Amino acid sequence: MKKLYSLFFALLLAIGVLAGCGASTEEPKKNTASEGNQQAQEEKADFPVTIKDALDNEVVIESKPEKIVSLIPSNTEISFALGLGNEIVGISDYDNYPAETAEKEKIGAMDFNVEKIISLKPNLVLAHESGANYGEAGLQQLRDAGIAVFIVNEAKNFDDVFNSINMIGTATGKKDEAEQLVESMRAKLEEIKEKAKTIKDEDRKKVFIEVAPAPEMYAAGTNTFMNEMLSILHADNIITEEGWPKVDPEAIIEKNPDVIITTHGYYTEDPVGNVLGRNGWQEINAVKNNQVVDVDSDMVNRSGPRLVEGVELLAKAIYPETFK
């Protein structure tokens, strides 16, 4: 009997061992916590990072910024395009894109509120070269409060914009996303350039870009984004002065543009009607042929990811048959 019990016990033990070692038909569950930790470790590996800003200052960013304040709309648009919407905690009073900016804390404009920024406890403040001198005292207060301040370059052409995107990407741990964004913008720009090459020299249009209406009329001249866009589109800017010169309405009549673009529709009522109804302008080709178009100022002038879309807007306004 003892032998019988011993054999029976040994048989049960063997069955149990085999069951424990048997292959399961169920798929192993993913260890999401482990994957999250791995991603966090990879992000930490990119920091601390030392990067030179637009004023050649060496800025040390100790860890991936969890709270970011942006002092200018272009920095904000770039940050959102890189997937940093949740990290943005403060923006300028002029920020209006994307729609989520309406939910963010406003910190002022050129005269930003230093105390408000500090109260938001950011790890990083994205400043801008255009306002760095004006706001230097405030920026130094932020540095003294232990906040990393990174000054982004003032972009004057597309290459400068691509540089801005890559700078912000490196400073925020979004380097790969920045490179992908720049690559997609370059590709779209090349598509537009290729289509513009089909425009014959004899079909080139003369364009006037009005950024402020009469009686104080201002235009986009050379060394501006909009001038570069016209060059890309094989169109000629009738304004040959640099920057944003004040213009004489009589001079515009003499230069007789084929297309008139206005960019002040966000604050003037019926900008197209304003141009079409001007005394003495009825003989301008653009007015006679009803080629007067108002475009979104931000998309053709703000140095951010939507600039390529701005080129498309101008292309459709100037050469509607080519860029349908």
CA angle 308, 314, 319 (to 5 degrees): 125
Same domain, 102 and 206: no
* Residue 79 located in a structural domain: yes
* Residue 7 located in a structural domain: no
* Residue 16 located in a structural domain: no
Same domain, 178 and 220: no
Domain boundary among 156, 183, 210: 183
Residue 83 lies in domain: 45-183
Q: What is the tally of structural domains in the chain?
A: 2
Bridge partner list, 88: 68
Helices (H) and strands (E) in the chain, counts: 14, 12
User: What 3-state class would DSSP assign to 281?
Assistant: coil
User: Is the Cβ–Cβ distance between 172 and 64 less than 8 Å?
Assistant: yes
Domain boundary among 155, 183, 211: 183
Same domain, 91 and 221: no
Same domain, 208 and 174: no
d(CA 150, CA 148): 7
Same domain, 57 and 147: yes
Same domain, 77 and 172: yes
- Whose tokens are 């701005």? That residue is 310
* Residue 204 located in a structural domain: yes
Q: Which residues of 141-155 are buried (b: 16+ CB within 10 A; e: fewer)?
A: bbeeeebbbbbbbbb
User: What 3-state class would DSSP assign to 284?
Assistant: coil
User: Is the Cβ–Cβ distance between 55 and 46 less than 8 Å?
Assistant: no
pLDDT at 106: 97
pLDDT at 18: 33
* Residue 9 located in a structural domain: no
Per-residue model confidence as pLDDT tens for the chain (324 residues) = 344 334 433 433 333 433 343 333 344 444 555 554 554 455 556 899 999 999 999 999 999 999 999 999 999 999 999 999 999 999 999 999 999 999 999 999 989 999 999 999 999 999 999 988 889 999 999 999 999 999 999 998 999 999 999 999 999 999 999 999 999 999 999 999 999 999 999 999 999 999 999 899 999 999 999 999 999 999 999 999 999 999 999 999 999 999 999 999 999 999 999 999 999 999 999 999 999 999 999 999 999 999 999 999 999 999 999 998
Same domain, 151 and 261: no
Same domain, 207 and 170: no
Same domain, 214 and 287: yes
Same domain, 234 and 175: no
User: Is the Cβ–Cβ distance between 84 and 76 less than 8 Å?
Assistant: no
Q: What are phi and psi of 316, to 5 degrees?
A: -70, -30
CATH number (domain holding residue 225):
3.40.50.1980
* Residue 255 located in a structural domain: yes
Same domain, 178 and 50: yes
* Residue 292 located in a structural domain: yes
Instruction: Kindly report, residue by residue over 187-244, the tens digit of the pLDDT.
Output: 999 999 999 999 999 999 999 999 999 899 999 999 999 999 999 999 999 999 999 9
Three-state SS sequence of 67-123: CEEECCHHHHHHHHHCCCCCCEEEECCCCCCCHHHHHCEECCCCCCCHHHHHHCCCC
Residues 6 or more apart in contact with residue 57 via CB below 8 angstroms:
151
Same domain, 162 and 242: no
* Residue 107 located in a structural domain: yes
